[in-house]
Amino acid sequence: MQILDEKFCTGCGACYNTCPMNAITMQSDNYGFYKPIIDTEKCINCELCKRVCPQNNYISANYKEPISFAFQNKNKQQLYKSASGGAFAFFAQEIINNGGIVYGVVWDKNIVACHIRTDNLNDLEKMYSSKYVQSNTKETFKEAKKDLKNGKIVLFSGVPCQIAGLRSYLKDNYTNLITVELICHGVQSPLLLEKYKEEFLKNKPNEKILNINFRSKKIGWFWGNCYTTIETSKKTYNLPDNYYAKLMDLTMNESCFSCKFTGFPRVADITIGDFWGVNEYDSSLYDKKGLSIIFINNKKGKEFFLKSNNNCNITKIPLDAAIKRNPNIKNVTIKHKLRDSFLNDLCMENKPLVKCVKKYLNKTLGRCIYEKLPKFIQNFIKYNVLKKEKC
Ligand SMILES: Cc1cc2nc3c(=O)[nH]c(=O)nc-3n(C[C@H](O)[C@H](O)[C@H](O)COP(=O)(O)OP(=O)(O)OC[C@H]3O[C@@H](n4cnc5c(N)ncnc54)[C@H](O)[C@@H]3O)c2cc1C
């Protein structure tokens, strides 16, 4: 039995959490993305996995036009450690302080991104900042259901397809559940991250990676800044302009290119992201310490937001201003034409990452520069340098 065409599978884990026979395991596909594999010996063809798949049954009753705010957490530590304006930390702390449970993404001891459950502020801190890789939701949907049934207040965070998976798995609209989704460009291959870590540790004998922060604010928060810090057992490495971030479009999950969970109405109760383009809207709001955009997507989200403490700065903004410089709020990422060959070289042919980076990044960087040139110069290059024929 096939749950759905593999190219649409986001690997959210709803089917894995649902199967009554434990016949499904989440395994890495050829490019390293988590995908469900059915053990046909155990499968009883009940088709619950097909029915729970959010790709087969997703509908959102949220506002068609959410209420949008520029948001900044006033807690300086939380703000510094978060990718944007510390919106997640703000909401999550509110839940923990009220005896609730938070689900979010951390690096495990092997620096693999996975969802965990927590009821304390120490673990919460590990969830801060963006891990640019597909996370493994493991059994967190089952755990969240148990918490909800036990009357706990639960905040579940993740990328929109994971929230759609959770909602589909839960079926009931629990009043004690708050969902928070990220605006999402697309998720990268866990195998890419493995190869990246391996490459990074080359010539660093006896060093172990303890933490990676792809969104370090060492030089501030601004568009295009990919300042990475990697903490090892020996020291902290500062990597401005890290090439990992530049590989994003080349290493995304196939399902991201046809994502159903972008645009409006949103999936979760609250959406959080970066307020890119804030300077064009109102430069007095810009702060290099970071600024979030948040969408309140339904009545539940609104009530939770209004009830939360006021240790934050918020400004209501028009939806258009939020969307203008953040294309993934509304649109899916367009598949890079070199994506398949890059991942084939890296994952199937097992070519060294540095070689792939040299081969493909140069091409894509060249392409980026080319696309910024005026049309007449592009044509000159096309017909004289690249010797393309006019048709
Ligand atoms: C793969 C990815 C793509 C993104 N694309 C965009 C984009 O195009 N535009 C935009 O505005 N913002 C995007 N973001 C979100 C942005 O990077 C910030 O996470 C967001 O602005 C929230 O910032 P914060 O300061 O409120 O909280 P932070 O503390 O930075 O965020 C922590 C939250 O992110 C969650 N999280 C971290 N890594 C993952 C992961 N791999 N999978 C699922 N959840 C994760 C944690 O569970 C926690 O809920 C993306 C994030 C990720 C992980």
* CA 182–ligand 1 middle distance (angstroms): 5
How far does the centroid of ligand 1 lie from the alpha carbon of residue 40, in Å? 36
Question: 314: which strand partners?
Answer: 71
Tell me the residue ranges of DSSP E strands in 266-385.
270-274, 292-296, 312-317
The 3-state DSSP class for residue 118 equals strand
Amino acid at 264: F
217: Cβ below 6 Å to ligand 1?
Answer: no
Task: For residue 276, give both structure tokens.
Answer: 């890119």
Residue type, 254: E
Q: Among 271, 259, 261, which Cα is nearest to 60's? A: 261
Q: Which domains does the chain have, with CATH numbers?
A: 6-57 (3.30.70.20), 67-188+249-329 (no CATH), 339-385 (no CATH)
Residue 381 DSSP one-character state? I
Q: Which atom of ligand 1 is nearest to the CA of 275?
A: 11
What does the pLDDT read at residue 225?
Answer: 81
Which residue has the least CA distance to atom 31 on ligand 1? 129
**Sign of the CA dihedral with 71 first, then 75, 80, and 82 last:** negative
* Closest protein CA for atom 12 of ligand 1: 273
Task: Return the pLDDT at 390.
Answer: 37
In a structure prediction context, what are the per-residue pLDDT tens digits for the chain, which is 391 residues long?
A: 889 999 999 999 999 999 999 999 999 999 999 999 999 999 999 999 999 999 998 899 999 999 999 999 999 999 999 999 999 999 999 999 999 999 999 999 999 999 999 999 999 999 999 999 999 999 999 999 999 999 999 999 999 999 999 999 999 999 999 999 999 999 999 999 999 999 999 999 999 999 999 999 999 999 888 899 999 999 999 998 889 998 999 999 999 999 999 999 999 999 999 999 999 999 999 999 999 999 999 999 999 999 998 899 999 999 999 999 999 999 999 999 999 999 999 999 999 999 999 999 876 666 667 767 777 787 777 666 655 433 2
Nearest CA to ligand 1 atom 20: 273
Report how far ligand 1's centroid is from the alpha carbon of 82 (Å): 9
The predicted pLDDT at position 363 comes to 66
- Residues facing residue 272 across a β-bridge: 182, 294
Pocket test residue of 78, 82, 182 for ligand 1, highest count of atoms within 8 A of CB? 182
What is the structure's pLDDT at 389? 39
| Interval between CA 181 and ligand 1 midpoint (Å) | 8
Positive/negative CA dihedral, 347, 340, 12, 23: negative
- Provide the pLDDT for residue 45: 97
Q: Positive or negative, the Cα torsion across 153, 157, 160, 162?
A: negative
Burial 63-82 (b: 16+ CB within 10 A, else e): beebbbbbbbbeeeebbbbb
Whole-prediction pTM: 0.94
C-alpha gyration radius of the chain: 21
